[in-house]
Chains A and B, each alone.
Chain A
């Protein structure tokens, strides 16, 4: 690097090559496990035991992937479509219901709004594990165990979502806009629809993205409540290991296959994820 940093120009100068080198190492660490999976997943059963294993991928990835997909114990397509259904439904409902509640908390004044908001925030600290036994008994009573509803319903709206939207709307939605809509004779719900929702869009998109990713990766509760024959992708992955525990080429091909949708999502929305995390940090 031609430009050298002097001690006085802290914010203007470009950092040294050392910083780029160190970041490149971090990046390599982040990517390496994927490459390793591809290396093993594109070989055959014996690749992992080969002392002089090549660092160049083999040619069996598609065959291994096909073997995973066609394995009846894993029910890959079912798992994929279940994951899409669960994550999409949860993301949409969380965004709509959180925005609605956030709109009320941020911009409407009503009796008890303060304590109620505190109650919402307090519930964020409660771990999932605490209620998991009775929740399971409840689902059994409703006859929902094994169905996707058992995974979707508890996740329809989250305290985090409500908190997030309240924060955002109280900062970015001018109260005058709501008043103007009310003067024009809009009902509350139309005010929400035409003023609240458009203003909430950036934060809502972020919330949708995070809810989608979190739900997609969720394992504990789906693992408990879902049937192995009707799994989400992480549950199917856990079955993969139980079925193929000797053949890592199939296990890791399956892992890559199941990770692919989120990697694609990341390529297109990674920028938003980054700014979502950074904005959340500044506010939280």
Chain B
């Protein structure tokens, strides 16, 4: 039997083995089918939808990437790995790769640091907890496109708010839409605006799962606030930090909305200062209408993401393994989370 659930009116195993099948009424037989096949029916929608809109396109991408695709006739000519070779020799692709990594680093590193500190503040015994938590999350509900429009205005080269504040403070204007690094900083700011609070809440959840007696013990041993933070809090939330790093890697390397909306043309700037890989993919596919090459770009992007995720994963394993404090406290943490989930 493949299911644990049995109807009481069902025949026993012996009955069935001794040719009991014929004795089953239609109702009983339906009941058996129900038990046996219903689970597959319930999970079928996911696999059908994923099969058609996920798996098939992925496999087909591999196929198309070796084609010189004809948009009009919707067929292609097999040309092997030429598309990959072209992409890898294209200067624009490497610029896009550089920009993507630069924006990713500028957004993830400061964001994680700030998010950790915000989480530590929210972890205090605050008045009006919910108010502060909601306030921190507010930017998350705004569409990246909207965020990009607001910030690209604030970072305007001539009349932007940021530059007028800089001028008032006696600094030179920065050419946010012209220079490479300033444009990356502006775009990273949009990402940080939207995600810092979200990640702070995830880290806050991890902090709240830390047994309070660890802090008490540390305090008794004479550890001050900052010592407790670095010696108790940080090691304890490390697994969650790594989880946040991995998810923000996957998201960050695919960045499109913000750089696309950073100016009115959406092509990544006059010298491709803020062209990202996904923008390069879009431009190849839907501006130049070269589907074969766009598919090749998609595969390259996928391989990059997988590689980085694997590197992250192995780093994680080593970090967690080297962390004995976290290991010791783990059973307790699990209990806590289980009781929370089962409320």
Binding site for B on A (CB under 8 A): 7-8, 10-15, 19-20, 22-23, 26-27, 29-31, 33, 36-37, 40, 48-49, 51, 97-98, 100-101, 103-105, 108-111, 113, 116, 120, 123, 125-138, 140-141, 153-154, 156-157, 159, 162, 167-168, 171-172, 175, 178-179, 182-183, 185, 187-189, 192, 213, 216-217, 219-220, 224, 233-234, 237-238, 240-242, 245, 248, 251-252, 255, 258-259, 262-263, 265-266, 270-271, 273-274, 277-284
Contacts and interface: CB of A to CB of B under 8 A. Distances in A.
Interface residues of B, number: 116
B206 A15 contact: no
Contacts of A240: 149
Contacts of B122: 23
30 contacts: A7-B219, A10-B215, A12-B125, A14-B125, A15-B125, A23-B121, A30-B136, A48-B156, A48-B159, A104-B40, A104-B42, A110-B36, A126-B58, A129-B302, A131-B60, A133-B291, A133-B294, A134-B56, A138-B52, A157-B50, A159-B50, A167-B341, A171-B338, A213-B141, A234-B145, A237-B146, A259-B146, A262-B141, A271-B134, A274-B201
A12 B141 CA distance: 33
Given A101-B45, A220-B257, A271-B130, A153 B198 contact: no
Contacts of B135: 23, 26-27, 30-31
A233 B340 CA distance: 37
Contacts of A101: 42-43, 45-46
Interface stretch (B1-9, B14-22, B88-96): B1-9
B49 A156 contact: yes
Contact of B136 (A27, A100, A113, A171): A27
Contacts, number: 326
Given A234-B143, A262-B142, A282 B337 contact: yes
Interface stretch (B169-177, B278-286, B320-328): B278-286
B188 interface: no
B254 A128 contact: yes
A120 B47 CA distance: 8
Interface string B152-172: 011010010100100000000
B296 to A, nearest CB: 10
Secondary structure dominating the interface of A: helix
B57 A132 contact: yes
B185 interface: no
B106 interface: no
A255 B149 contact: yes
Nearest to A131: B57
Given A10-B216, A11-B212, A279-B341, A97 B45 contact: yes
Contacts of B141: 213, 217, 262-263, 265-266, 273
B250 A127 contact: yes
A277 B266 CA distance: 32
B2 A110 contact: yes
A33 B136 contact: no
Contacts of A265: 141
B63 to A, nearest CB: 8
A26 B118 contact: yes
Nearest to B4: A109
B139 interface: yes
B174 to A, nearest CB: 18
A13 B225 CA distance: 13
B57 to A, nearest CB: 3
A27 B132 contact: yes
A241 B341 contact: no
Contacts of B193: 29-30, 33
A255 B150 contact: yes
A185 B7 CA distance: 7
Contacts of A277: 137, 198, 201-202, 205
B341 A171 contact: yes
Contact of B202 (A31, A171, A278): A278
Contacts of B208: 278
A-B complex: 7 closest residue pairs judged by Cβ atoms: A131-B57, A154-B53, A134-B60, A15-B124, A188-B38, A278-B205, A281-B205
B205 A279 contact: yes
Contacts of A188: 34-35, 38
Given A30-B138, A101-B42, A219-B256, A36 B121 contact: no
Contacts of B45: 97, 100-101, 156-157
B243 A284 contact: yes
Nearest to A132: B298
A133 B309 contact: no
**Residue in B9, B141, B164 whose Cβ sees the most chain A Cβ within 10 Å:** B141
Nearest to B35: A188
A97 B282 CA distance: 31
**Residue in A179, A238, A274 whose Cβ sees the most chain B Cβ within 10 Å:** A274
Nearest to A182: B5
A279 B7 CA distance: 36
Contacts of B6: 182
B286 A224 contact: yes
A109 B153 contact: no
